[in-house]
Amino acid sequence: MTLIKKRLAASIAMAAATAVVATTAQAEISDDEVRIGYLADMSGTYRDLAGPGGLTALEMAVADFGGSVNGAPIVVFSADDRNSADVGANTVREWIDQRNVDMVAGLVASSVTIAVTKVLAENDRLGLVSGSAASSVTNEHCTPNHIHWVYDTYPLANGTAKAVVEQGGDTWFLLTADYAFGHALEADVTRVVEANGGEIVGGVRHPFPTSDFSSYILQAQGSGAKIVGLANAGADTVNAITTASQFGITQSGQQLAGLLIFLNDVHALGLEATQNLLLTTGWYWDMDEQSWEWAQRYFDEVGRMPTMVQAGIYSSTMHYLKAVEAAGTDEAQAVREQMASEPINDFFARNGRIREDGRMVHDMYLAQVKTPEASTGEWDLYEILSTIPAEEAYRPLSESQCSLVQN
């Protein structure tokens, strides 16, 4: 055989092998489609922090990836969970049974998330949790079938509560949303306040959601605490801060500590009402050039700057799609293993990695809301004060109750 013939034969063999690999990879994508369900509060208390804007972020990731994985189209479904665990769980069951959905994204209210992740585990599908805050999602409620991406109550307490106590705010009254997220945040804040020499002098839990905070704010005023900690989120936080302002909380010498504040909350309330408020965030649109560039693209689509949750939805979706491509399959455990094998350093996450408990740890940030005089524009709302390194921000695995962790 001549050299030319040998090379030709080798080329044909290589092409044939490549075709087999490509065919096999596509064959391992179930239904020849990658099917993603986006589940979130689309119309209620948490609409603005995730909601339709989170769906847009997910769709941006799909478009940026090219719309397909190894030749298999990416198909997106979406639904409003109405902040109901039953609605969320039933929606996901229907998606799996009728539409063979591979991955569920969004997942905001922690009660919904905990119910949905049980369904995902029963059916061996994957969930990427971007909106929920309860640290229990990857602690006592961990499963092999979900990853918690953006933030949780542990770093929120480590950042905001610790900073406030160090500045002299050593007596606290906690106003807590009465469900899984609020309970987790209350517990984590109590731990941090007491560990740093402070004291919880009182507290009250309010129904979720709540529109009238009058009686709760009166109890906070009567407690005499220096700090009124708001262990709630979304419209509940906005309503609580608005009521506190009406009742003259800050004028009477007490200080509010928003323990989970989103960019849209500060924007809605205005800098006059929120200036100098300390908060912990997983991301901010103007923290560096990479973040700014993506946020500008998002702004062009939506007309407002993204929250950390919406940015996290894009980041987690992109990491998922890359893992499906690399693994050559959308099978949940293979994709999770591939996702965990790759570090996350993108416009959203710095020093990110996925631990065995499903927690994606990454740097978090202590921020302060700017004064009206310091702000240079409508969305110029935060000053980043310090970085909380990934390994310090989240619950140590040595303290984990997750069944997946070998202590």
Residue 49 CA to residue 32 CA, distance in Å, equals 33
Type of residue found at 35: R
Pairing of strands 278-281, 353-354: unpaired
Domains annotated on the chain, with CATH? 31-151+287-362 (3.40.50.2300), 154-281+365-393 (3.40.50.2300)
Structure confidence at residue 72 (pLDDT): 98
Determine the Cα angle at 58 with ends 105 and 316, to 5°.
Answer: 60
41-69 in b/e burial notation, b at 16+ Cβ within 10 A?
A: bbebbbbbbbbbbbbbbbbbbbeebeebb
Structure confidence at residue 202 (pLDDT): 98
Say what the alpha-carbon torsion angle 321, 116, 344, 160 is, to the nearest 10 degrees: 150
Phi, psi of 211 (to 5 degrees): -105, -30
Structure confidence at residue 10 (pLDDT): 41
Percentage of residues in the chain with pLDDT exceeding 90?
Answer: 88
Structure confidence at residue 251 (pLDDT): 80
Structure confidence at residue 407 (pLDDT): 66
**Mean pLDDT per 10-residue section of the chain, whose length is 407 residues:** 40 41 58 98 95 98 98 98 98 98 97 98 98 96 98 93 94 96 95 97 96 96 96 93 90 89 95 90 97 98 98 98 98 98 97 97 94 97 94 94 90
Structure confidence at residue 13 (pLDDT): 42
Structure confidence at residue 375 (pLDDT): 98
- Tokens 């979706």 sit at which residue? 317
Phi, psi of 281 (to 5 degrees): -135, 155
Phi, psi of 13 (to 5 degrees): -65, -45
